């Protein structure tokens, strides 16, 4: 059954099952909003053939990843999610099953954080596109910004990196996983297909800070190195990552060379962990409370982002970053 077989109304009826009752029916959704909070908003579009393909991407995973990326953007500002809207562009020949799978994947991810789809829009399009806008709430004194790192801060990550890149490699070239156990393979693939936004780390963070609320940071969706570069630039400081403390996903050492494992850890991207800068004492409390979190470097006077090995250091770049359009017509 294709979308053009049941029409817009037929599709809407099916998709309403994934939304809370009472939300849909008017031109817009109404959400209650707590007092003394600020509204945090982020938006993201995925396009068939650019970010995913119904031909090769499982619909559920595409939905999960789309939601996870947006919730991670909220978490990277210190915000808790309160809802999302979804705008779908669909060719008439899109299978209804694919669209339902997409919504199922989105709902699966939202359910983990007690959040829902509060509204949306369907329209005809020559290519599948999924635009999500996510809303969150944050207290004004609890906002995480890239610009507020200070010399002396520890740099903390909420988990290992490079796993998503490793999972992608296994999906593209399964033979590269011959040296891995089935469990190791599954963990890497799952890291790629079902990344978990670190909303859970926000509550632990404020507990660890115990009133000292200045935390700088962002998520590592574009890579750990990219996060270090962005934070150093926005804060006017230097960010140093320690080579011996690089948060390399353990599975990678059984799969690729140490050099490749480091590259993927720094530049792989899409791990959706948080990269946070906070005073050392708070950082110690935080990593003791959040499984998988670790201190990986420090903020010092100066500029740029660096990988430090004893007395030697080399610059981190945004080379792994993904710049759309440039040089392509």
Q: Which tokens is 195 given?
A: 């990344």
State the number of binding residues for its own copies (CB under 8 A): 81
Q: Assess 126 for contact with its own copies (CB under 8 A).
A: yes
Which residues on adjacent β-strands are paired with residue 53?
A: none
Tally of CB atoms within 10 A around 55: 8
Q: What Cα–Cα distance (Å) separates residue 215 from each residue in 74, 85, 97, 256, 310?
A: 15, 29, 43, 35, 27
135, HSE (Cβ side, Cα atoms, 13 Å): 18
Q: What Cα–Cα distance (Å) separates residue 22 from each residue in 25, 29, 81, 84, 95?
A: 7, 9, 19, 15, 27
Q: Assess 119 for contact with its own copies (CB under 8 A).
A: yes
- Residue list 131-160, contact with its own copies (CB under 8 A): 131, 133-136, 138, 140, 143, 145-147
Cβ nearer to its own copies, comparing 142 with 164 = 142
Among the listed residues 20, 53, 97, 124, the single contact to its own copies using CB under 8 A: 124
Return d(Cα 3, Cα 98) in angstroms, integer: 10
Q: Assess 83 for contact with its own copies (CB under 8 A).
A: yes
Cβ nearer to its own copies, comparing 4 with 243 = 4
- Residue list 223-282, contact with its own copies (CB under 8 A): 234
Among the listed residues 58, 87, 289, 294, the single contact to its own copies using CB under 8 A: 87
Return d(Cα 77, Cα 304) in angstroms, integer: 22
Contact 293, 158 (CB under 8 A): yes
- The interface mask with its own copies, positions 184-203, x = CB under 8 A, is --------------------
- Residue list 305-324, contact with its own copies (CB under 8 A): 323-324
Cβ nearer to its own copies, comparing 26 with 259 = 26
Cβ nearer to its own copies, comparing 34 with 211 = 34
- Residue list 11-50, contact with its own copies (CB under 8 A): 11, 25-33, 35-47, 49-50
């Amino acid at each position: 059954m294709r979308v053009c077989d049941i029409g817009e109304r037929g599709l809407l009826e099916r998709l309403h099952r994934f939304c809370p009752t009472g939300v849909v029916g008017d031109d817009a959704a109404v959400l209650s909003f707590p007092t003394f909070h600020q509204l945090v908003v982020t938006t993201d579009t995925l396009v068939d053939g650019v970010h995913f393909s119904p031909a090769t991407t499982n619909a559920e995973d595409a939905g999960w990843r789309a939601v996870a990326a947006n919730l991670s953007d909220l978490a990277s500002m210190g915000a808790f999610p309160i809802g999302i809207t979804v705008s779908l562009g669909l060719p008439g020949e899109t299978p209804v099953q694919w669209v339902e799978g997409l919504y199922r994947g989105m709902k699966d991810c939202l359910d983990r954080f007690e959040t829902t789809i509060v509204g949306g829009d369907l329209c005809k399009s020559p290519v599948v596109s999924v635009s999500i806008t996510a809303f969150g709430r944050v207290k004004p004194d609890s906002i995480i910004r890239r610009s507020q790192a200070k010399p002396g801060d520890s740099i903390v990550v909420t988990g290992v990196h490079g796993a998503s890149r490793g999972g992608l490699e296994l999906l593209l070239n399964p033979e590269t996983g011959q040296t891995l156990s089935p469990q190791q393979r599954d963990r890497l693939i799952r890291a790629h297909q079902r990344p978990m936004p670190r909303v859970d780390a926000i509550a632990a963070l404020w507990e660890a800070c115990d009133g000292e609320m200045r935390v700088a940071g962002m998520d590592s969706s574009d890579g750990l190195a990219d996060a270090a570069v962005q934070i150093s630039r926005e804060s006017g400081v230097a960010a140093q990552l320690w080579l011996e403390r690089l948060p390399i996903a353990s599975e990678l050492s059984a799969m690729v060379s140490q050099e490749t494992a480091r590259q993927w850890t720094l530049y792989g991207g899409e791990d959706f962990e948080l990269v946070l800068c906070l005073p050392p004492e708070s950082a110690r409390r935080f990593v003791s409370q959040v499984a998988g979190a670790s201190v990986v470097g420090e903020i010092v006077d100066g500029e740029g982002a660096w990988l430090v090995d004893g007395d030697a250091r080399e610059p981190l770049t945004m080379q792994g970053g993904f710049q759309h359009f440039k040089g392509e017509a």
